[in-house]
Amino acid sequence: MTPDTLPPDALPVETAAGVVLTPANWWLIVDTASPRMSLALLRGQEIQAQWGVRSLQPSAHQVVADIAYLLERTGVRPTDLTALGALIGPGSFTGIRVGLAAVKGLAQPLDCPIATATTLEVLADAVLPLQQPTTVVVLNVSHRREVHGQAFSAGPDAEPRPLTAALTGEVQTVLEQLFRHIPKDCPRLLTGDALALLDNGDVSAFVGDLPRIAPPPWLAPVAAPRLAARLAAGVTCDAKTLTACYARAALPTG
């Protein structure tokens, strides 16, 4: 992948019949890719309960126990679930692995559909509503001083759509590559867990005074509208085909 070609990753496509989310349908969203693990339990389109905990290295036991706790507190049995939602990364490798294993463990015996979204998509969703067409640049902490980053086109009447691929690398390198491939005549804003890294030296000078929006503390509830739309459209997978999303390495352009 050369610096002059940075197309977005392929969007999910319809793979099955849509799921009509009525008030009788219970479904669960799981996010373990973020530094703050979160769950959201919905009935139809409405969130009925949510759970969040900061965990840099979640274990499979912890994730399964937290799901069981949330279901038990709301009186919902695993067999009551008609669909699942999962955030598939990029993010913590361990978190993604154990989270997707838990989702597969729930979905396989129920043969229920799984709608997926990336953490970067959901962070872009979190800045809505916008008053005008805007380029949203999402930066999330990877490890040490590296980030995951992606640019999205967003506006008042549409959910954010990717303008670039998801990249990973040093913050300055990721920003330089993203900025080379986004419109210069469109307002820009920055969001994500890595905003604090933008205050250092050359990075601060590079981004200047672009507006910044702090990310939400928990992503599972924020993901609900996007995942509900994908369930309704049949843009889903099953336990056998559920896979993680990993960002591409950003190579220096100099």
Q: CATH no. for residue 95?
A: 3.30.420.40
pLDDT tens-digit map of 243-253: 999 998 987 76
Q: Do 114 and 126 belong to one domain?
A: no
Q: Do 113 and 132 belong to one domain?
A: no
Query: Cβ contacts of residue 10 below 8 Å, gap of 6+?
Result: none
pLDDT at 5 over 80: no
Residue 65: inside a domain, yes or no?
A: yes
Q: How many domains does the chain have?
A: 2
Q: Do 101 and 124 belong to one domain?
A: no
Residue 15: inside a domain, yes or no?
A: no
Q: Do 35 and 81 belong to one domain?
A: yes
Q: Do 150 and 232 belong to one domain?
A: no
Question: Which percentage of the chain shows pLDDT scores above 70?
Answer: 91
Radius of gyration of the chain (CA): 18
Q: Do 101 and 145 belong to one domain?
A: no
Map 97-164 to HEC letters. HHHHHHHHHHHHHHCCCEEEECHHHHHHHCCCCCCCCEEEEEEEECCCCEEEEEEEEEECCEEEEECC
Rounded Cα–Cα distance for residues 138 and 194 (Å): 9
pTM exceeds 0.85? yes
Q: Do 36 and 106 belong to one domain?
A: yes
Q: Do 75 and 147 belong to one domain?
A: no
pLDDT at 4 over 60: no
pLDDT tens-digit map of 70-128: 999 999 999 999 999 999 999 988 899 999 999 999 999 999 999 999 999 999 999 99
Structure tokens at 114: 């799984």
Number of Cβ within 10 Å of residue 56's Cβ equals 11
Confidence of residue 219 (pLDDT cuts 50, 70, 90): very high
Residue 50: inside a domain, yes or no?
A: yes
Residue 10 is predicted with a pLDDT of 58
Residue 129: inside a domain, yes or no?
A: yes
Residue 212 is predicted with a pLDDT of 97
Q: Write out the residue range of the structural domain in which residue 158 sits.
A: 120-213
Q: Do 156 and 187 belong to one domain?
A: yes
Residue 1 is predicted with a pLDDT of 43
Query: Cβ contacts of residue 92 below 8 Å, gap of 6+?
Result: 32, 33, 34, 35, 56, 57, 58
Q: Do 101 and 148 belong to one domain?
A: no
Q: Do 240 and 196 belong to one domain?
A: no
Residue 14: inside a domain, yes or no?
A: no
Rounded Cα–Cα distance for residues 202 and 243 (Å): 36
Residue 196 is predicted with a pLDDT of 92
Residue 69 is predicted with a pLDDT of 96
pLDDT tens-digit map of 177-218: 999 999 999 999 999 999 999 998 889 989 999 999 999 999
3-state secondary structure of 86: strand
Residue 145 is predicted with a pLDDT of 74
